[in-house]
Copies of this chain bind each other. A is one copy, B any other.
Amino acid sequence: MWLWELCSGNVGEISSSVRTNVKGVAYANNRIWDTAEYTIPTQAVNSFFVMTNIIKTENQSKQECPEVNMFCDLSCFSTGIQTGRCVDYNVTFKTCEVEAWCPVQPMENPPEPAVLRSSEDFTVLIKNNINFPKFNCTELNIPQDFNNSCTYNKTTSPLCPIFRLGDIVQEANQKFSEMAVKGGIIAIRINWDCNLDSWFYDCSPKYSFNRLDDKETMPGLHFRYARYYKLPHGEEQRTLFKVYGIRFDVLVFGGKLDILIPKKSTTTLVLR
């Protein structure tokens, strides 16, 4: 049987906030990539995304054009947005014609090496606050003597809140250049390792990292988005992006059920 002890006071409702700032500029595919380009969406709660690879299809507009993989011989079933016509895709074969944003984005694999593989050198500053409203008290992961040119290192600089993306991925036992091709999800865990007996007096964050999407079965993270333009005569065009990238989920542990500890164990129950 387990006995449970509650820590000395009622800590009440606890909450955590995470803010991130990614820095770095890359030059690739004849284009400058800065924060406004490679973070999509521009902000999220407890999470940030950095684009690592891209397939771009420019100047799409509403037209009729051959689909990319609906091969045909003579005619096509006309359902939904198919016109029913079987047309030349290229000199070798024919595909069904569709009403679509044309030209249709080809069904190709993501480029290798990844277009934005140099995002490995980007850095992120993570600001994490833990709030105990009842005690009117806040813990922050920024050290008192914070040097804003530091870089996190597990051994030599374990409290620096600025992380090189390549280091994060390496600490999660992944290879950045590989992961950049199809994208993926990495967890950045912040574990507030606090001594409950003297709650606010020994409380510092420990960072750890692991990959969250499955590396073997269907790895990767991608989505499509578009930028819309209007031509001078009013017609709408768009540039379609198939974007691959790494989403970093910042998971904060330790502020919640640490108050409840089993007496016969060194186990710390940590719930998010």
- Pair A15/B212 contact, Cβ less than 8 Å: yes
Q: Which residue of B lies closest to A186 (CB)?
A: B17
B45 touches A42 (CB 8 A): no
Enumerate A31-57 residues with CB–CB distance to B below 8 Å: 31-32, 34-37, 39-47, 49
Contact among B210, B217, B230 for A133, CB-based, below 8 A: B210
Contact B212 A129 (CB under 8 A): yes
CB-nearest residue of chain B to A254:
B13
Number of copies: 3
> With A and B bound together, what is the CA distance between A51 and B37 in angstroms?
20
Please, which residues of chain B bring their CB within 8 A of the CB of A31?
62
Q: Does A3 contact B (CB under 8 A)?
A: yes
Whole-angstrom CA separation of A4 from B256 in the bound complex: 18
Chain B residues, Cβ within 8 Å of A1: 3-5
- B34/A101 in contact, CB under 8 A: yes
**Contacts A/B (CB < 8 Å), 6 sampled:** A13-B189, A32-B101, A42-B225, A44-B45, A229-B230, A259-B269
Using A131-B212, A227-B228 as known contacts, list a sample of 12 further A-B pairs with CB atoms less than 8 Å apart, ordered by residue number in A.
A6-B267, A10-B267, A25-B100, A32-B100, A36-B240, A41-B42, A43-B49, A43-B223, A131-B210, A133-B208, A230-B237, A232-B232
